[in-house]
Amino acid sequence: MTLLVRAGLLFTGNREIEHGWVLSRDGMITEIGSGRPPPADDVIDEPNCVAMPGLVNAHDHMYQWATRGYVPDGTLFEWLRALYQVWARLDADSVRAAARAAMAHLLLSGCTLSTDHHYVFPHGRPGLFEALVETASELGLRFHPCRGSMSLGEAKGGLPPDSVVEEEEAILAHTEDMVARFHNPDPGSMCRVVVAPCSPFSVTPELMRDSAALARRHGVRLHTHLAETLDEERFCLEKFGRRPYELMEDLDWTGDDVWYAHGIHLNDGEIHRVAEVKTGIAHCPSSNMRLGAGACRVEDLIRAGARVGLGVDGAASNEDANLAMEAHQALLLARVRATSPRALDARGAWRLATVGGAECLGRDDCGTLEVGKCADIACFRVDGLAHAGIQDLVAALALAPPARAQTVIVNGRAAVRDARLLTADEDEIAREIKATSARLAG
Ligand SMILES: [Zn+2]
């Protein structure tokens, strides 16, 4: 089965081709060119669009779509303390409804590959991880679900209440089971499982060590939150006598198979060490601004040679899930932080939103449009009121991000056409999430 996508401008990540086209066969790109295209079984022609690599979401908590709008003015720790009580009511149905909403919104914003860091597994509620994997398959999203975890409850000096933490043995056994059932390491894979204890203030050092050993035994990646707030830094210094990144070094949580969410409060030496060991950083600008967490040193990380991607983070701290908007926010926030308009340009921002995220997720087959890579393509209209008349269309889409993508292709198949989701009913998903949010609010 071959698919041809033509666009007014094809932005491959490396090249910009006017009237360019991409030909794919069975989900992989076989040819790229301009002018007269070859024949194909299916043709999608978008003369008023920029086609670019599908966007990559390197950090998220999809269940949070059902708990948006809580603690609108709180710090991370205040916000978490309020939300843990609500999240304790999660079950497979609420996780599925939230994931359908989160994934629908991601696809509609041009995202084709996403991770999800799920770390709340209330006692006696089976099927949460399965619900996430099934939903990605239903909606047609390339997916890297993280089996997250929390084991350090209040009684042991952690932040979460004991009602939402799990026994460490059970966490490790379930993680191993999820890897065995769902992880596919092959090129072009639609599902890869990640091992992801939540944060230094919600798991023990022992679980961090055991999780790293488990992941490396199975050849899967590691993900966690790190250096998000100064409260976290104070917690680590008081409890462990170490800065958050020093703690990661102690626990064997560095290397090219690891990526952290946020990485805001890293000092100069830590930025160079992160870059040297090729650990990734998922920068989440909207969430960081919403929680007043600080601004990631993106330009310093890039200059040091670090791998940096973008994440929308959970929708409870970013009431949106639009990767194009995160590229826009990253560009602006980097300039505010540096008090310089040259800190990050549009093409640099798109790099973070595509190949940077793919590097975090360990995908050398995603993130750019090249022969031999996955046919994951996002097409954005540039003839509407928002963009018409702007000369540099690649800059236009970062400076004025589109609300929706026109066409989205994942694995050589259309998931979005005419800015409508093809794989599920968006209105039904909205009705479902309204009912689920009300049920969880109690
Ligand atoms: Zn997060």
- How close is the Cα of 207 to the center of ligand 1, in Å? 19
> Over the stretch 164-219, which tens digit does the pLDDT of each residue have?
999 999 999 999 999 999 999 999 999 999 999 999 899 999 999 999 999 999 99
- How close is the Cα of 118 to the center of ligand 1, in Å? 9
- How close is the Cα of 314 to the center of ligand 1, in Å? 6
- How close is the Cα of 234 to the center of ligand 1, in Å? 19
- How close is the Cα of 285 to the center of ligand 1, in Å? 11
Q: How many CB atoms lie within 10 A of CB 256?
A: 13
- How close is the Cα of 355 to the center of ligand 1, in Å? 20
Enumerate residue ranges in the chain where pLDDT < 70: none
- How close is the Cα of 260 to the center of ligand 1, in Å? 10
- How close is the Cα of 393 to the center of ligand 1, in Å? 31
Per-residue pLDDT, 213: 98
- How close is the Cα of 350 to the center of ligand 1, in Å? 21
- How close is the Cα of 311 to the center of ligand 1, in Å? 9
pTM above 0.95, yes or no: yes
Per-residue pLDDT, 442: 87
Here the tokens at position 175 are 């993680």
For residue 214, which of 250, 176, 185 has the smallest C-alpha distance?
Answer: 176
Cα distances from 156 to residues 76, 162, 165, 225, 239, in angstroms, run 20, 9, 11, 20, 11
- How close is the Cα of 383 to the center of ligand 1, in Å? 35
- Which three-class secondary structure state does DSSP give residue 396? helix
Which own/partner contact pairs does 333-338 have at CB distance under 8 Å and 24+ positions apart?
A: 333/285, 333/288, 333/289, 333/295, 333/296, 333/298, 334/295, 334/298, 334/299, 336/295, 337/295, 337/297, 337/298, 337/299, 338/299
The residues that bridge with 20 in the sheet, in sequence order, are 34
- How close is the Cα of 11 to the center of ligand 1, in Å? 30
- How close is the Cα of 21 to the center of ligand 1, in Å? 36
- How close is the Cα of 29 to the center of ligand 1, in Å? 32
- How close is the Cα of 225 to the center of ligand 1, in Å? 6
- How close is the Cα of 108 to the center of ligand 1, in Å? 21
- How close is the Cα of 284 to the center of ligand 1, in Å? 8
